[in-house]
């Protein structure tokens, strides 16, 4: 029998004393583990994850989970309300200037907002627990991560917890219990794609998303890395002691559900189907994951390259996002009527062509259709391989 709880998490208190809260839905299945954490809309204009989570609610009404889920739609009311006219400027915090998805804490390395005492020394943990079972390792390390979060909060309390740290702690205090973390985002103008940790190929196939960017085992501040990097560090520490049977026990993914400032309940149902397939892979829902319906290609995130505008102008895309290209293929035209110097003026004089520097997939056009010289124009997957 599935049991639900609903809580509110305060993510910020405004200058007038109003609490900005996110709704947290806890779905308790037949067992408390494995556990999945899912959140959407950490960036204000990245809306589609909310549609996917609403569709997931309906699926969970019909299907009792084997494990448990923590589901947080509209996780960031701060960014959702950073609206200027018709535009939601929700990637960066107006108050701090920080990217809302780059302020999380590395719990196995000294965190920016805490002393070196507030993190878990994986080498010491592995040494002490060298003879432990996998379950004992999982439970003990999770408790150590909880203690690190508590120590960071306690250390900061004497001086006051800054807004960036408070947001990170509120989210990571929820994710620390999870065996898989799914952070639902969108890109600028793009198809669906996935950021996945290296070595998670079976899980990646369970998602069935056609384009995959593989993340190295290094921390750079995003939530997916905050979820899996400590557990990868732990696996590496055990491997150095000769125990190669300790895998990375937690995974984290950033799931990019199309373009920003779009919202579709019908497309959300399809997005939820892919999420459900991944949850089956992790044993949170019963059954086997779906077989991918499309060809899937991947590249390292280090081979995900941006083309910067060689001239200013209005952007005329020559290909759609998700299109494979060869080196030299036309990708976009930059159009500026002020370049028409001769008389009578000719339209061709206004155009600067932009071509692909190498083979790859044009994955994303950046948000604005009017760009200055040197602005990011297009992002491409290069050195791709079929999964």
User: Is residue 210 located within the same domain as residue 267?
Assistant: yes
Q: What radius of gyration do the chain's Cα atoms show?
A: 22
Is residue 85 predicted with pLDDT exceeding 90? no
Is residue 52 predicted with pLDDT exceeding 60? yes
User: Is residue 237 located within the same domain as residue 96?
Assistant: yes
Share of the chain above pLDDT 90, in %: 94
Residue 300 lies in a domain: no
Share of the chain above pLDDT 70, in %: 98
Residue 132 lies in a domain: yes
Number of structural domains in the chain: 2
| Residue range 258-311, pLDDT digits in tens | 999 999 999 999 999 999 999 999 999 999 999 999 999 999 999 999 999 999
User: What number is the average pLDDT over the span 209-227?
Assistant: 96
| Residue range 103-146, pLDDT digits in tens | 999 999 864 445 555 789 999 999 999 999 999 999 999 999 99
User: Is residue 284 located within the same domain as residue 153?
Assistant: yes
Is residue 87 predicted with pLDDT exceeding 90? no
Residue 313 lies in a domain: yes
User: Which two structure tokens, joined as six digits, stand for 16?
Assistant: 């007038």
User: Is residue 91 located within the same domain as residue 232?
Assistant: yes
Beta bridge pairs of residue 10: 21
User: Is residue 231 located within the same domain as residue 375?
Assistant: no
Which of 248, 263, 294 is the endpoint of a domain?
294
Predicted local confidence at residue 259, as pLDDT = 97
Residue 299 lies in a domain: no
- The label of the residue with tokens 């491997």 reads 239
DSSP 68: E
User: Is residue 205 located within the same domain as residue 351?
Assistant: no
Residue 253 lies in a domain: yes
Q: What number of CA atoms fall less than 13 Å from residue 223's CA on the CB side?
A: 31
Predicted local confidence at residue 378, as pLDDT = 97
User: Is residue 113 located within the same domain as residue 91?
Assistant: yes
Is residue 200 predicted with pLDDT exceeding 80? yes
Is residue 243 predicted with pLDDT exceeding 50? yes
Q: At 257, which CATH number? A: 3.40.630.10
User: What number is the average pLDDT over the span 215-219?
Assistant: 94
Predicted local confidence at residue 113, as pLDDT = 47
User: What number is the average pLDDT over the span 52-60?
Assistant: 98
Which of 294, 315, 335 is the endpoint of a domain?
294
Kind of pairing between the strands at 180-187 and 68-72: unpaired
User: Is residue 240 located within the same domain as residue 177?
Assistant: yes
Residue 143 lies in a domain: yes
Q: What angle do CA 334, 339, 342 make, to 5 degrees?
A: 140
User: What number is the average pLDDT over the span 150-167?
Assistant: 93
Predicted local confidence at residue 88, as pLDDT = 81
User: Is residue 65 located within the same domain as residue 135?
Assistant: yes
User: Is residue 375 located within the same domain as residue 227?
Assistant: no
User: Is residue 237 located within the same domain as residue 362?
Assistant: no
User: Is residue 117 located within the same domain as residue 206?
Assistant: yes
User: Which two structure tokens, joined as six digits, stand for 247?
Assistant: 């895998």
Q: At 368, which CATH number? A: 2.40.50.100
- Contact at 8 Å (CB) between 29 and 2? yes
3-state secondary structure of 162: coil
User: What number is the average pLDDT over the span 311-320?
Assistant: 98
Is residue 364 predicted with pLDDT exceeding 60? yes
Dist. CA 219–CA 214, nearest whole Å: 13
Domain residues for the domain of 232 are 3-294
Mean pLDDT for all residues in the chain: 95
User: What number is the average pLDDT over the span 67-77?
Assistant: 98
Which of 294, 316, 333 is the endpoint of a domain?
294
Pick from 159, 163, 1: nearest CA to 66: 1
Dist. CA 178–CA 252, nearest whole Å: 9
- Contact at 8 Å (CB) between 187 and 178? no
Is cis: bond before 43, omega within 30 of 0?
no
Predicted local confidence at residue 292, as pLDDT = 95
Residue 32 lies in a domain: yes
Residue 209 lies in a domain: yes
Is residue 20 predicted with pLDDT exceeding 60? yes
Dist. CA 14–CA 25, nearest whole Å: 24
Dist. CA 26–CA 3, nearest whole Å: 8
DSSP 42-107: SSTT--HHHHHHHHHHHHHHHS--SSEEEEESS--HHHHT-EETTEE--SB-TTT--BTTS----T
Q: Where are the alpha helices (DSSP H) in 198-245?
A: 201-207, 223-240
- Contact at 8 Å (CB) between 153 and 159? no
């Amino acid at each position: 029998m599935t049991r639900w709880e609903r809580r509110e998490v305060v993510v910020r208190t405004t200058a007038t004393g109003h609490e900005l809260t996110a709704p947290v839905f806890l779905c308790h299945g037949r067992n408390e583990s494995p556990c999945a954490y899912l959140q959407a809309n950490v960036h204000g204009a990245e809306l589609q994850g909310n549609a996917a989570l609403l569709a997931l609610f309906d699926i969970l009404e019909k299907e009792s989970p084997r494990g448990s889920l923590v589901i947080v739609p509209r996780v960031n009311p701060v960014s959702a309300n950073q609206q200027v006219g018709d535009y939601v400027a929700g990637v960066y915090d107006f108050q701090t200037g920080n990217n809302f998805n780059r302020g999380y804490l590395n719990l196995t390395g000294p965190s920016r907002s805490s002393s070196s005492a507030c993190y878990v020394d994986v080498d010491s943990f592995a040494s002490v627990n060298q003879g432990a079972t996998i379950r004992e390792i999982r439970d003990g390390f999770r408790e150590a991560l909880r203690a690190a979060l508590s120590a960071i909060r306690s250390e900061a309390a004497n001086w006051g917890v800054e807004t960036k740290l408070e947001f990170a702690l509120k989210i990571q205090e929820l994710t620390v219990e999870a065996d898989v973390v799914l952070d639902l985002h969108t890109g600028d103008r793009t198809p669906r794609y996935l950021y996945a940790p290296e070595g998670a190929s079976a899980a990646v196939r369970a998602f069935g998303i056609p384009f995959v960017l593989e993340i190295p085992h290094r921390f750079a501040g995003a939530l997916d890395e905050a979820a899996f990097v400590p557990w990868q560090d732990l696996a590496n520490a055990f491997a150095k002691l000769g125990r190669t049977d300790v895998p990375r026990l937690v995974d984290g993914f950033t799931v990019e559900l199309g373009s920003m400032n779009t919202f579709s309940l019908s497309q959300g149902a399809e997005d939820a189907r892919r999420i459900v397939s991944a949850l089956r892979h992790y044993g949170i829902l019963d059954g086997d994951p779906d077989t991918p319906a499309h060809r899937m290609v991947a590249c390292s995130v280090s081979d995900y390259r941006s083309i910067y505008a060689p001239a200013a102008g209005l952007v005329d895309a020559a290909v759609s996002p998700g299109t494979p290209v060869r080196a030299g293929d036309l990708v976009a035209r930059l159009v500026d009527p002020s370049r028409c110097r001769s008389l009578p003026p000719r339209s061709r004089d206004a155009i600067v062509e932009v071509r692909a520097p190498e083979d790859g997939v044009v994955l994303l056009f950046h948000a604005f259709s009017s760009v200055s010289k040197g602005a990011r124009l297009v992002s491409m997957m290069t050195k791709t391989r079929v999964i």
